[in-house]
Chains A and B, each alone.
Chain A
């Protein structure tokens, strides 16, 4: 099965810094999703993108659906300690199948 290429694999940043992570695929998707997972918990949806070129914000989070429909990025501005966790991208194709990225582990140093 397909897995999306997500980078970076891990990040260690100072509180207050901005964060950027991205996801690429060899296939086209019609939906891109970004989830956050806290340790020992299930992923929680942060942002959903449905249109190529779409830029959507959710508080300090901003995500974009790439024009080629094969990539997406997530930015977090002014990071805070509770941003710690693993961030996953996911793509959904026209067959309604989901594929997940390998995750970006974020550590925020106070």
Chain B
């Protein structure tokens, strides 16, 4: 079955650590996105990539980094520079004829 998979579903990070969230899709979509969701707020764009080896900052990129070495994969690293990383992170992908298709999300908690 085609889809978009995020892992892990739950992640705990100690302060000062970097952690990487995985996002893999087998939909052959060109564009991939990372969003952050906080309670009572909409989805805020962290980074997006329209094509392999290219990505752009979204509205809240500070403290995050991404790579797009393969079409199927768009991992997000939450660095120690992100001072308030506890949130629900959503990955999405789309192509020119489909709308954004979301993964199941990763809940990151700082302990």
Chain A residues within CB distance 8 Å of chain B: 1, 3-4, 6, 9, 31, 33, 35, 40-45, 48, 88, 90, 96-98, 100-103
Contact = CB atoms under 8 A, between A and B. Distances in A.
Contact of B42 (A41, A42, A103): A103
A42 B44 contact: no
Interface of B: 6, 31, 33, 35, 40-45, 50, 58-60, 88, 90, 92, 99-105, 107
B42 A45 contact: no
B40 A102 contact: yes
B105 A40 contact: yes
A43 B99 contact: no
The B interface is mostly helix, strand or loop, or mixed, namely strand
A88 B41 CA distance: 10
7 contacts: A1-B45, A40-B105, A41-B104, A43-B90, A43-B102, A48-B99, A100-B42
A31 B92 CA distance: 17
A101 B42 contact: yes
Contacts of B101: 45
Contacts of B105: 40-42
Contact of A45 (B6, B88, B99, B103): B99
The 10 closest A-B CB pairs, nearest first, are A1-B59, A42-B102, A100-B42, A100-B43, A102-B42, A43-B102, A42-B105, A42-B104, A3-B42, A42-B103
Contacts of A4: 42
Nearest to B90: A42
Contacts of A102: 40-42
Contacts of B45: 1, 97-98
Contacts of B44: 1, 3, 100
